[in-house]
Amino acid sequence: MDDQDVFAAIGEEGFERLVAAFYRQVPHDDVLSRLYPQDDLAGAEHRLRDFLIFRFGGPPRYIEKRGHPRLRMRHAPFAVDSAARDHWLRAMNQAMEEAALPPEVKRVLSAYFESTAAAMINTG
Ligand code: HEM
């Protein structure tokens, strides 16, 4: 399966389940809860969901609302070290299990999350 086929496979609803399952964990995670804006978790959930939908073959709502992703730049205000990366990936892997995504979708998303999360590290 290619990246661009994921949206056709799981739809809006699949991404919604995935991202909701991720953000449900954020307030309970000792590292993530300190990084994410606790007063706008719903907004953060929308941004990640729209971004992933765009990135994996769905409608480009993220671009329309936020412009070019520039993910590394957008993460610059947050101190992302390797521990933060590990917590983020653990929460996302747990979310993929909860959302019960098809195995081939999980394979494609896991590879993307693994490499992109590493690229967000911006501090020792
Ligand atoms: C595959 C890896 C990742 C992707 C695709 C991703 C994607 C995104 C996107 C699209 C946004 C919203 C940007 C905007 O429009 O303003 C965002 C925000 C954010 N990300 Fe990530 N991110 C990743 C990894 C990480 C990691 C490893 C951390 C560290 C724990 C992190 C922490 C944050 C925080 C704190 C925000 C601000 C929340 C908000 O207000 O939107 N991200 N991320």
Q: How far is the CA of 100 from the centre of ligand 1 (A)?
A: 22
Q: How far is the CA of 44 from the centre of ligand 1 (A)?
A: 8
Task: Please write the tens of the pLDDT for every residue from 49-100.
Answer: 999 999 999 999 999 999 999 999 999 999 999 999 999 999 999 999 999 9
pLDDT at 71: 98
6-25 vs 82-98: helix crossing angle, rounded to 10: 120
Q: Mean pLDDT of all residues in the chain?
A: 98
pLDDT interval class at 37 (50, 70, 90) = very high
Atom of ligand 1 nearest to the CA of 44: 41
* Lookup result for tokens 């098809």: 102
Residue 41 in contact with ligand 1 by CB distance below 6 A: no
- Top pLDDT among 21 and 124 is at 21
pTM of the model: 0.97
